[in-house]
Structure 1
Amino acid sequence: MRTTGYGMYPKDIAALLAAAGEAAIVLTYVDHRAFTDVSLDRFASVNSTRLDWQGVEVLELSEEFDGDGLREMVRRHGAEGELVVVFWGNHAVPSVALEAEVMAAHAEMVVGSCYECWLYFTDGRVLIEFQDGEGFVAARVPN
């Protein structure tokens, strides 16, 4: 099932998809919703796009907001072979899934392609929020 307004601009992440090659999985709308239900939707929001961290287990705060900062967080919170789902702030760009090692290798492309995004680590149930100019927050996804 494809819904209007989702994934209409995959060219916005074309460089990441090209660099990651077959390691990148572009999610269908159904897959996107399934991963959203077990990750982003478990948090309250503040000002529509920022997550509310009150009452959740915050694992790490970082004032860095570049590829190096994201790479280090991915390495600290992602297990070898773990699938990481990237949700973009612009829902017209499709969500993608990459293994943690591939995500770390292409961290610059992720932060360079958006002003905000969220990374969901499927095994560890960790979510990292990126807000450009403000840094990263890593937290455990609540049950």
Structure 2
Amino acid sequence: MTTGYGMYPKDIAGLLAAAGEAGIVLTYAEDRAFADISLNRFASVNSTRLDWQGVEVLERSEEFDGDGLREMVRRYGDEGELVVVFWGNHAVPSVALAAEAVAAHAEMVVGSCYECWLYFTDGHVLIEFQDGEGFVAARVPN
């Protein structure tokens, strides 16, 4: 299934350039390993939305802009915590950034996609972003 993964890094080139050395592009194997401990622990609805029933939802926000994401990142992540960003399109490679880099470039994160998921590796929190609908933050189930 590695065919097609990461074929379009140019879609996030601005974010990677802004983040500099703070941004790491994940290989397919790394993407799948992080997905196994985060995204894959949730059921899905309509293939691209997570099912929040039966999990600890921490917050729902109707905001869907950089400011809304920035506030959530600061609320649920420590500055140096590693955050993995999964994009709605698997052809765009997942990236790992420090939480402060995600907060600093939040507009670029939400501006790069219609949907994405951010996994906070220390706090085991996942934030789902759906453009026009907002954010949901939840604890990753065990």
Counterpart AA for 2:93 = P
Aligned equivalent of 2:86: 87
Aligned equivalent of 1:57: 56
For 1:74 and 1:141, how far apart are their aligned partners in 2? 16
Aligned equivalent of 1:102: 101
Equivalent residues in 2 for 1:9-48, closer than 5 Å: 9-48=8-47
Give the TM-score normalised by the residue count of structure 2.
Answer: 0.99
Gaps (5+ residues) in structure 2? none
Answering whether residue 124 of structure 2 is matched by residue 125 of structure 1, we say yes
Q: Counterpart of 1:5 in 2: which secondary structure?
A: coil
Counterpart AA for 2:86 = F
For 1:102 and 1:80, how far apart are their aligned partners in 2? 8
Counterpart AA for 2:25 = V
Counterpart AA for 2:76 = H
Offset, 1:48: 0.7
After alignment, is 80-89 or 2-11 more displaced? 2-11
For 1:73 and 1:116, how far apart are their aligned partners in 2? 16
Q: Counterpart of 1:111 in 2: which secondary structure?
A: helix
Offset, 1:3: 1.6
Q: Counterpart of 1:54 in 2: which secondary structure?
A: coil
Aligned equivalent of 2:6: 7
Deviations 1:31-64 (Å, cap 9, x if unpaired)? 0000000000000000110000000000000000
For 2:47 and 2:32, how far apart are their aligned partners in 1? 18
RMSD: 0.8
Offset, 1:80: 2.3
Counterpart AA for 2:45 = V
How many residue pairs match? The answer is 142
Offset, 1:5: 1.1
Q: Counterpart of 2:96 in 1: which secondary structure?
A: strand
Aligned equivalent of 1:78: 77
Q: Counterpart of 1:138 in 2: which secondary structure?
A: strand
Counterpart AA for 2:67 = D
Identical amino acids, percent of aligned pairs: 89
Deviations 1:60-115 (Å, cap 9, x if unpaired)? 00000000000000000001210000000000000000000010000000000100
